[in-house]
Amino acid sequence: MSENAVVVCTFEPGREGLPEGAEEILHIGRGLATALSAPLHWLILGPLPDRASATAGHYGVSSLQQMEDPKLLPSNADACVAALSGYCSDQAPQAVLLHQTLDARIVAPRVAGRLNKAVVMNGISIEPNGENLQLTASAYGGDTRVIYEVGPGPILSFIANAAVPDPSEGDPVSVENISCDLSEITERIEIIEQARFDGPRLDDAEIIVSGGRGLGSVDNYPLIEQLAEAMGGLAGASRPLVDEGWVDSSHQVGLTGRITRPNLYVAIGISGASQHMAGCSAAKTLVAINRDEDAAIFQYARYGLVGDALELIPELIRAVRDR
Amino acid sequence: MRIVVCVKEVMDPDAVNNYAVAGRLEIGEDGKTLTQTAIPRLMNGYDEQAIEAALRLRDEGADFTLAVISAGSDPEKMLKHAAALGAQELVAIQVDPESLDQQAFARLLAAQIETMGGADLVLCGRQASDDDQGVVPALIGEQLNMPVITVARAVALLDNQVRVTRVTSDGDQVVAAACPAVVTISNELGDPRYPSAAAKVKARRIKPTVVQPSDLGLSPEDIAPRVMLTRQFVPEVQGNCEFIQGEVAQMADSLIERLKADSIL
């Protein structure tokens, strides 16, 4: 049944002309489709992102498909589930791959539940294994990797944060409209108050300076903010600081917080628990500052400074400003 | 009114992390099971917070029966903890967790909820701290045809509506749905309470109702897995850290110099 496609599904408009994680998930989809000698389809639920056609060409998408309906917004889970389930029933894809967003985390399992298909989250890589697919996923907050064997037509969600190699050249792909009838769908969840965050987001930051429990006291967190500002970056935090109410959760980096991929990540007073590393291990350069030279964070770091954060941070601010 | 909380037993994630960080996490001969007997088993922390969310609703005057249910090999100790916290109905679905996938767990839990007469609200942790999958609540929602609201930091009941404050990357979002609904609880909810000593003693005598999949009308085929865990391993970390030495000011200067030289700053 090799004519059945590997389908990448996105349903977020994204901010820079592409849905968040689109290139990463298309790269994974391309790899799987090639291994299966299957076509790669890209299904877009809702409005077409600006760069969709060109990007589809770059990643060897053979069919760019769009389901359009005013109801198809990422937050409209009932509409998205109905649309994607209907699509899967008609087209019987070999696998549906999604980039793991908060909304995908609801839509993927609900579609799988409706269709009685396999579903796996936190995917990192995938390959065929005989008749089945074999997916490597993160578990225990990143402490371990698990390999799952899944049956036909699974719905799979990936934490696709590895760097994508430059895509090959390819001609833009034209858009094929797939009809869907959502007239019967009424969303059961009503948004009373929309999340409003107008500041810069950690997800997009090029430089992040994060503080952890090693700072000792909430009174020392402003040092992190000052260093972040001096470096032209944003301030982040590990989960204990959020749980203890030192900073609000929009600053939390980690598995249950923001998954970031900055050029530079400076971790100060952070031990390097996997739950945190899941949110920053994609950083191009990681600098660790910790008083304990055996702290796990140094295993991930490019540069390490062993010492007292409260003494080091003011010196770092001075050194940045000096240069 | 009934609120059902679904709970799972996991290996203490902090202990797992400590062994992993020390490079001493052991995987058994089957290539997939963590074998350290020193790692305690306990209730998934997010599930404990789901019970806490229910108890807070009770604190605010909501009148309901609290049911805590679990599917596993030996959930009795965990369910007694739930009883000490104030759960009135306890159900242990007797299964070998290794032989099931998430769909099967969701089917069992959904069937149990239906069998006990339904629920007005189903509360679950946002994910289990062992596999981090977090798909069972959404699958239960599909089974029972309930809307699914995830990552709650606060849950309130107003008339027949559940109102949830969700933690998103753009800040808090407030949503509402008519009951029945499934809501998953995130760590931002805050610390769960401890049961009193007296409640603990009393809970010792309470026996959970034990049910088999067949009692729920589910055959072995109904809960045959579509996802099989075949291997587990500890990922390797590169470990090429260059330690910068010297006095405090020197260290700061050298680091910034290197970052400039690497064109990172």
- According to the 3-state scheme, what is the secondary structure of B91-152? EEEECCHHHCCHHHHHHHHHHHHHHCCCCCEEEEECCCCCCCCCCHHHHHHHHHCCCEEEEE
**Residues B159-198: tens digit of each pLDDT:** 999 999 999 878 889 999 999 999 999 988 999 999 999 9
Question: Is B201 at the interface with chain A, CB within 8 A?
Answer: no
Provide the whole-model pTM.
0.91
Interface test with B, best of A188, A270, A284 (most B CBs within 10 A): A188
- In the three-class reduction of DSSP (H, G, I as helix; E, B as strand; rest coil), residue A156 is classed as strand
The answer, yes or no, to whether residue B229 has pLDDT greater than 60, is: yes
* Spatial CA neighbour of A5 closest among A170, A175, A153, A159: A153
ipTM at complex level: 0.94
Q: Do B241 and A288 touch (CB under 8 A)?
A: yes
Quick one: A91 and A150 in the same domain? yes
Is residue A186 one of the residues assigned to a domain? no
Q: What CATH number was assigned to the domain covering residues B2-216?
A: 3.40.50.620
Quick one: A149 and A291 in the same domain? no
Mean pLDDT (whole number) for B150-157: 97
Is residue A196 one of the residues assigned to a domain? no
**Residue A81's domain is classified under what CATH number?**
3.40.50.620
**Structural domain ending residue among the three candidates A161, A177, A193:** A177
Question: Is B33 at the interface with chain A, CB within 8 A?
Answer: no
Quick one: A150 and A285 in the same domain? no
Number of domains in chain A: 2
**Which structural domain range is residue A141 located in?**
6-177
Interface test with B, best of A81, A227, A249 (most B CBs within 10 A): A249
Mean pLDDT of chain A: 92
Question: Residue ranges per domain, chain B?
Answer: 2-216
* Spatial CA neighbour of A285 closest among A208, A221, A200, A232: A208
Those residues whose C-beta lies under 8 Å from the C-beta of residue A105, and which sit 6 or more positions away, are A121, A157, B134, B138, B150
Quick one: A76 and A126 in the same domain? yes
* Spatial CA neighbour of A202 closest among A224, A173, A174, A182: A224
* Spatial CA neighbour of B69 closest among B51, B49, B42: B51
Cα–Cα dist A267/A280, whole Å: 9
Is residue A134 one of the residues assigned to a domain? yes
Neighbours of B105 (CB within 10 A): 26
Spatial contact of B216 and B93, defined as CB atoms under 8 Å apart:
yes
DSSP state of A16: S
Is residue A146 one of the residues assigned to a domain? yes
Nearest to A195 among B172, B231, B253 (CB): B172
Q: How far is CA B234 from CA A147, A251, A256, in A?
A: 12, 28, 20
Quick one: A168 and A208 in the same domain? no
Quick one: A11 and A135 in the same domain? yes
**Residues A79-118: tens digit of each pLDDT:** 999 999 999 999 999 999 999 999 999 999 999 999 999 9
Spatial contact of A69 and A182, defined as CB atoms under 8 Å apart:
yes
* Spatial CA neighbour of B207 closest among B112, B91, B96: B91
Mean pLDDT (whole number) for A268-276: 90
pLDDT for position B7: 98
Quick one: A163 and A308 in the same domain? no
**Residues B4-41: tens digit of each pLDDT:** 999 999 999 989 988 987 888 999 999 999 998 899 99
- In the three-class reduction of DSSP (H, G, I as helix; E, B as strand; rest coil), residue A104 is classed as helix
Quick one: A218 and A144 in the same domain? no
